[in-house]
Chains A and B, each alone.
Chain A
Amino acid sequence: MGSLAGAALLVGHPATAAAHLVTTGMGPVYDGAGHLFLTPEDLVPVLAIALFAGLRGPAAGRRAMFLLPPAWLMGGLIGSVLRVGAPASTPALSFLVLGGLVASDLRAPVAWVSGLAVIVGLVHGFGNGAVLRDGAGTLGLIGIVAMSYVVVTLVAASVVSLRVPWMRIAVRVAGSWIAAVGLLMFGWALR
């Protein structure tokens, strides 16, 4: 019962994310790029969707590369207008779902990758929007989006280019780690 109430609270409660971006001293665009790298809640889902898209082949990689960044930008713009944070459970859920998909190496159609990329981009971008509003603003968002594009492209292409079977297994192991972290995060939140 208690945990159920906790779960309800969790989903409804906005995240209390870091209130300001990192300072790189090189302007808001670089601040945004650095933000993505120092925020595992955002970086790991980007990595996970890239790994999954890479496992599904070049076409899926292209979809992720072209859909995630615009969705992220859109989500960020919406988030900065609406003045609400994303639910606190967003990272845990992304970790669990995306990590699980990578670990299982599910033979999903390319459309799945497209849908997931759009959802991940919208949701995590939405969360960024609230953080950026008081700091770096839209330029910071552009930095985050540009960096997510670079990360997705490089990681997905790296996975596509893997030819040795055990390297693909290593990718799946990484996915299972991500899913396990997601499960643990749910546990911490429910405690």
Chain B
Amino acid sequence: MSGSRRFLLVLLVLLVLVGTRATVHAHESQPGMLDIEQLAGDRFEVLWRAPIYFGQPHPAHPELPASWTTVAPSTVRELADSQLFRSIVSVGRAGLDGAVIRFPRLESTTTDVFVRLERLDGTSMTTVVRPTKPWAQLRGERSWRASAADYLGLGFHHILQGVDHLLFVLGLLLIVEGRMTLVKTVTAFTVAHSITLGLATLGYARAPLAPLNATIALSILFLGPEIVRRWRGETSVTIRYPWVAAFSFGLLHGFGFASGLSTTGMPRAELPLALLFFNVGVEAGQLVFVFLALALAKAFRVLELRWPRWAELLPGYTVGSLGAYWTIQRTVILLGVLR
């Protein structure tokens, strides 16, 4: 009884802490998109989808080459999660091969931008602009290695920024007992989220973002009590077969990963490559996190750390409370969307 009361207390404190400052914006910032489509000759349509960044219009804006002239004035459409800027430009006689588009102020954000160029002759190119490299050079074709490295980095970044996914993995680690079970559980999670990531990316399945985020939060909340149960030496289905929970919730998380890989308008031929390397990047990031957590746990044992009782319970309560907080927050968002 006192355990559940303490849980509520910790939950309350965390709610206040997290609620006062909106630091935990897991997955609310979507990638940006810049679409350049040839209309005729030197006329191109430029479409810039700027995601809403932490509740504000995005600070970065593409800077087109100076030699380009705007033919039709740009229009803005306000969408629920983004702003859509559309303009028509003339690239001049030199053509647009080798032109560089810069994204000032992108380097101070965490947003990735997909750039896609489509010509009338059917050729196209895609590239990813990152805060570490806030420009894109337009050219005919890109080597598959360059694209692969782009998507690999994208996946790696995506998982390491997804606090909710990492927290779920941490929760699994806290439940799992024994090395074989650990391997099975992590593999189950990996296989499951790869399946749904693939299905969603290839367009066979779709999950609306708002309910999805709420359910992902619910999966974290679900782990909280299980961790505490495990600490008390009790057992449950989840503790005995953690890979079952890892697999079923992994299916959900895969849809979440898919939201980081925006493929609208991506050339069909590039899709498998993007999917493969994005997934590899996600797994690499996940493995770095798992090994870091295990190495720290091992270090605590070597240093003969003896935690006080309240500190031993802290990870379980943290996972559970944050899960609960996100569930409430995202359900509110969901209801707001439905209304």
- The answer to whether any beta carbons of A and B sit under 8 Å apart in the complex is yes
Interface residues of A (CB under 8 A from B): 23-27, 30, 58-59, 61-62, 65, 150, 153-154, 156-158, 160-161
Q: Is there contact, CB below 8 Å, between A154 and B296?
A: yes
Given A150-B296, A154-B296, is A26 in contact with B302 using a C-beta cutoff of 8 Å? no
Q: Is there contact, CB below 8 Å, between B161 and A157?
A: no
Q: How far is the CA of A88 from the CA of B305 in the complex (A)?
A: 37
User: Which residues of chain A are near B130, meaning CB under 8 Å?
Assistant: 25
Of B110, B112, B303, which contacts A157 at CB under 8 A?
Answer: B303
7 smallest CB-CB distances across A and B, nearest first, come from A157-B299, A25-B131, A157-B302, A25-B132, A58-B304, A61-B303, A27-B110
Q: How far is the CA of A161 from the CA of B132 in the complex (A)?
A: 38
User: Which residues of chain B are near A160, meaning CB under 8 Å?
Assistant: 302-303
User: Which residues of chain B are near A158, meaning CB under 8 Å?
Assistant: 299
0/1 interface trace, chain B 290-332, chain A, CB 8 Å (1 if under) = 0010011011101111000000000000000000000000000
Secondary structure at the B interface, as helix, strand, loop or mixed, is helix
Q: How far is the CA of A158 from the CA of B298 in the complex (A)?
A: 10
Interface residues of B (CB under 8 A from A): 107, 110, 112, 130-132, 157, 160-161, 292, 295-296, 298-300, 302-305
User: Which residues of chain A are near B299, meaning CB under 8 Å?
Assistant: 153-154, 156-158
Q: Is there contact, CB below 8 Å, between A24 and B303?
A: no
User: Which residues of chain B are near A161, meaning CB under 8 Å?
Assistant: 302
Given A23-B131, A27-B110, A154-B295, is A58 in contact with B161 using a C-beta cutoff of 8 Å? no
How many Å from the CB of B4 to the closest CB on chain A?
30
User: Which residues of chain A are near B303, meaning CB under 8 Å?
Assistant: 58, 61-62, 65, 153, 156-157, 160
Of A26, A58, A61, A65, which contacts B157 at CB under 8 A?
Answer: A26
Q: How far is the CA of A25 from the CA of B302 in the complex (A)?
A: 35
Q: Is there contact, CB below 8 Å, between B305 and A62?
A: yes
User: Which residues of chain B are near A27, meaning CB under 8 Å?
Assistant: 110, 161
Q: Is there contact, CB below 8 Å, between B296 and A23?
A: no
User: Which residues of chain A are near B295, meaning CB under 8 Å?
Assistant: 154
User: Which residues of chain A are near B107, meaning CB under 8 Å?
Assistant: 23, 25
User: Which residues of chain A are near B157, meaning CB under 8 Å?
Assistant: 25-26
For this complex, 22 residue pairs linking A to B, each with C-beta atoms less than 8 Å apart, are A23-B107, A23-B131, A23-B132, A25-B130, A25-B132, A26-B110, A26-B161, A27-B110, A58-B302, A58-B303, A62-B304, A65-B303, A150-B296, A153-B300, A153-B303, A154-B295, A157-B299, A157-B300, A157-B303, A160-B302, A160-B303, A161-B302
Look across to chain B and name the residue whose beta carbon is closest to the beta carbon of A139.
B23
How many Å from the CB of B236 to the closest CB on chain A?
31
User: Which residues of chain B are near A154, meaning CB under 8 Å?
Assistant: 295-296, 299
Look across to chain B and name the residue whose beta carbon is closest to the beta carbon of A59.
B304
User: Which residues of chain B are near A156, meaning CB under 8 Å?
Assistant: 299, 303
User: Which residues of chain B are near A26, meaning CB under 8 Å?
Assistant: 110, 157, 160-161
Look across to chain B and name the residue whose beta carbon is closest to the beta carbon of A62.
B303
Given A25-B132, A150-B292, is A157 in contact with B298 using a C-beta cutoff of 8 Å? yes
Q: How far is the CA of A58 from the CA of B303 in the complex (A)?
A: 4
Q: 19 additional contacts, CB 8 Å, given A27-B110, A153-B303?
A: A24-B131, A25-B131, A25-B157, A26-B160, A58-B302, A58-B303, A61-B302, A61-B303, A62-B303, A150-B292, A150-B296, A153-B296, A153-B299, A153-B300, A154-B295, A154-B299, A156-B303, A157-B299, A157-B302
Q: How far is the CA of A157 from the CA of B294 in the complex (A)?
A: 13
User: Which residues of chain B are near A25, meaning CB under 8 Å?
Assistant: 107, 110, 112, 130-132, 157
Given A23-B107, A153-B299, A160-B303, is A30 in contact with B160 using a C-beta cutoff of 8 Å? yes
Q: How far is the CA of A170 from the CA of B143 in the complex (A)?
A: 45
Q: How far is the CA of A59 from the CA of B305 in the complex (A)?
A: 9
Q: How far is the CA of A59 from the CA of B306 in the complex (A)?
A: 11
Look across to chain B and name the residue whose beta carbon is closest to the beta carbon of A53.
B303
User: Which residues of chain B are near A30, meaning CB under 8 Å?
Assistant: 160
User: Which residues of chain A are near B160, meaning CB under 8 Å?
Assistant: 26, 30
Q: How far is the CA of A62 from the CA of B110 in the complex (A)?
A: 35
How many Å from the CB of B235 to the closest CB on chain A?
31
How many Å from the CB of A114 to the closest CB on chain B?
14
Look across to chain B and name the residue whose beta carbon is closest to the beta carbon of A61.
B303
Q: How far is the CA of A112 from the CA of B112 in the complex (A)?
A: 47
Look across to chain B and name the residue whose beta carbon is closest to the beta carbon of A149.
B296
Q: How far is the CA of A58 from the CA of B300 in the complex (A)?
A: 10
Look across to chain A and name the residue whose beta carbon is closest to the beta carbon of B132.
A25
User: Which residues of chain B are near A62, meaning CB under 8 Å?
Assistant: 303-305
